[in-house]
Structure 1
Amino acid sequence: MIELIVCDMAGTTIDEHADVYRALENSVRETGAEVTAQNLQTWMGAEKREAITALITLGGGVPEKQLVDATFERFRELLFSYYEQNPPVALPGVVEAFRKLSAQGVKIALTTGFSRDVASVILPQLGWAAGEGELLDAVVTADEVAAGRPAPYMIHRVMELTGIRDVRKVIAAGDTVNDLQAAKNAGVIAVGVLTGELGREDLEVHEHDVILDGVAQLPQFIAQLEVKA
């Protein structure tokens, strides 16, 4: 019996029109560093300061703390501006899937490479909140743990918050390679979804349990797991 679903935010449960990619790329480019599509994709889903540090280095820059801090603030500024112009929306079928699973006793949580202040801007726009009687049972952001993805800490922190002890009863879903690696590192069922920037062939070459079209398919997938069990 699956007891907990842990989903990524941008590209997995939320359509934010790839603005996080754009904000990350543009903020790093403003430092004078070159940003390739491959390097950008490698660091998507990761904690954003860590991603900025890596991208500046890969782009030929020197990621001194002052520069990383300033670039992170610029990233936030750009992202909030993009979101104001084109607000994020829930991906099709996500809310319905969450409500169906919640009615079956499954706990629902989100993790994200965003910091808490960014997540706190996005979630109220969607009408999503965490707590008793709300759509979500928990939300954990990358700045609330020792390290972001691909470390397993956000998933394990969600398990702590929701009282789930058995990793075999947890599914983690995401649209990036870092999401899959974090799930595998956490020992949970790793689900890739195709609602982000990567295609099936991009995700399938990395360790995973299943690739789904989207989070909307999770109730069906879980039902199949129960039958096999």
Structure 2
Amino acid sequence: MKIETVILDWAGTAVDFGCFAPVNVFLTIFEDAGVIVTLEEARKPMGMLKIDHIRTMLEMPRIKAAWHRVHGQSFTEKDVHVLYNHFETKLMESLATYTDPIQHVKTTVQQLRDAGIRIGSTTGYTDAMMEVVTKHAADKGYQPDFLVTPTQVGDKGRPYPYMIFKNMEVLGSQATKQVVKVGDTTSDIKEALNAGVWAVGVIIGSSEMGLSEEEFNALSSEEQQQIIEKTKCVFEESGAHYTIETMAELPALIETINARLNMDRQLECK
């Protein structure tokens, strides 16, 4: 028994180092609505379907109170949709510029394919958003075998497991224990755990780390190690089975998981 399928997140995992395309827009739409939000607040629900992300931000006690203070009443579902429409418009304007594959992704995907592993993907973006991302990422050399968006599973994105199940169905995966999900947010980890597959958090370039490539490279080795450890702890506390610093470590990790699967099988036979 061995891993047959690897399912990758998109922004912050495969493309868009630091996952800055949506974060910058979240900051802008709230500022335009008269409520200043922090980078940390904007990043916390990252990985969710974007309208759910906005809803989650509005439910945060500080933002909820600030909204009430500015608008004279609590937010409504109409406010959620107004913010989301504003978000969608702004994101679509800039999305194409955030589609560069992250270092090691293309090489790693080729290694996995050479080993007979299928490459699926899930995202918090909608179909319309992913039309832009997939086109430009493919032009730059990254194209998984399959993609599922929340739109395709009744808007039940992360932390629901249905996008993973859809990947498994189409890619012909036989068992959840033969599937690895790699992502850069706690939402990715929860999605994997809810689906019963291996949950792997990727650290460098992640939304959870929250740094651009330039910011990360400007840190001293000691500072880099500190933020790597901090991000690793967040993933582990969320239940990740494993973490990797970069995608370059994924093929070796899959060999480790394969060995673990074979050991478990031998124990079952005794």
**Matched-pair contact (CA < 8 Å) for 1:16–1:83:** no
Name which of 91, 104, 112 aligns with 1:101. Answer: 112
Q: Which residue of 2 aligns with 1:144?
A: 152
Matches within 5 A, 1:9-48: 9-15=10-16, 18-48=20-50
Partners in 1 of 2:157 and 2:137 — Cα distance?
A: 24
Specify which of 206, 218, 226 is matched with residue 196 of structure 1.
Answer: 206
* C-alpha distance in 2 between matches for 1:205 and 1:87: 29
Q: Which shifted more, 69-78 or 158-167?
A: 69-78
Match of 1:216 in 2: 248
Say which SS state the counterpart of residue 148 (structure 2) adopts: strand
How far is the alpha carbon of 1:57 from its aligned partner?
3.2
- Other-structure match for 1:125: 136
**2:9, 2:122 within 8 Å by CA — same for their partners in 1?**
yes
Moved more, 20-29 or 155-164: 20-29
* Kept in 2: contact 1:33–1:56 (CA 8 A): no
Which has more strand, going by share of residues? 1
Unaligned runs of 5+ in 1: none
Shift of 1:28: 2.9
Distance 1:52 1:189, change over 3 A: same
**Total equivalences in the alignment:** 224
Partner of 2:85: 73
Q: What amino acid maps onto 1:110 in structure 2?
A: S
Quote the offset at 1:165 in angstroms. 2.8
Specify which structure has the higher proportion of helix: 2
Contact 2:23 2:39 in 1 (8 A): no
Q: Distance in 1 between matches of 2:152 and 2:234?
A: 29
RMSD between aligned residues:
2.1
The range that moved more, 46-55 or 61-70, is 61-70
Question: Percent identical across equivalent pairs?
Answer: 26
2:186 pairs with 1:177: yes
The alpha carbon displacement at 1:128 in A equals 6.4
Query: Structure 2: which 5+ runs fail to align?
Result: 68-73, 209-230, 263-270
